[in-house]
Structure 1
Amino acid sequence: MDETTVQLLCPECTKDWQISPGELPAAADMFHCPGCHASRRMSEFTRTDRDLQTLKQLG
């Protein structure tokens, strides 16, 4: 079975990566980019609306 991942994109440095939703904070919580350390709500890092929905359902 494939593991579900969420695609992330930093709005500041444009670093992109995938991670399991269980390893991420809630969509409204603060998150820090591992590339540039920009701080924003987790929801602002999700690449698509589908990734945001996955985060909310499985995170």
Structure 2
Amino acid sequence: MDEAAVQLLCPECAKHWRETPRELPAGGSTFHCPNCHASYRISEFMRTDRDLNAFKQFQ
């Protein structure tokens, strides 16, 4: 079975990438962009509401 992946988009540098929910910190945690190192809540990096819902489902 394929594992779900969510699309992420940095609010500062617009870097776009994909991760599996298990590779990401918990929902209320601060996350750092691997490109520009901007720090935001992980939910602010979710590209779409669908990605956010998938992330919450697997947390």
In structure 1, the gaps of 5 or more residues are none
Partner of 1:11: 11
1:14 offset after TM fit, Å?
0.3
TM-score by length of 2: 0.93
**Cα distance in 2 for residues equivalent to 1:45 and 1:28:** 12
In structure 2, the gaps of 5 or more residues are none
Q: Percent identity?
A: 64
- Could you list the structure 1 runs, at least 4 aligned residues long, displaced by more than 4 angstroms after superposition: none
TM-score by length of 1: 0.93
Partner of 2:2: 2
Query: Does structure 2 retain, via aligned residues, the 8 Å contact 1:26–1:55?
Result: no
Counterpart of 1:2 in structure 2: which amino acid?
D
- Count the aligned residue pairs: 59
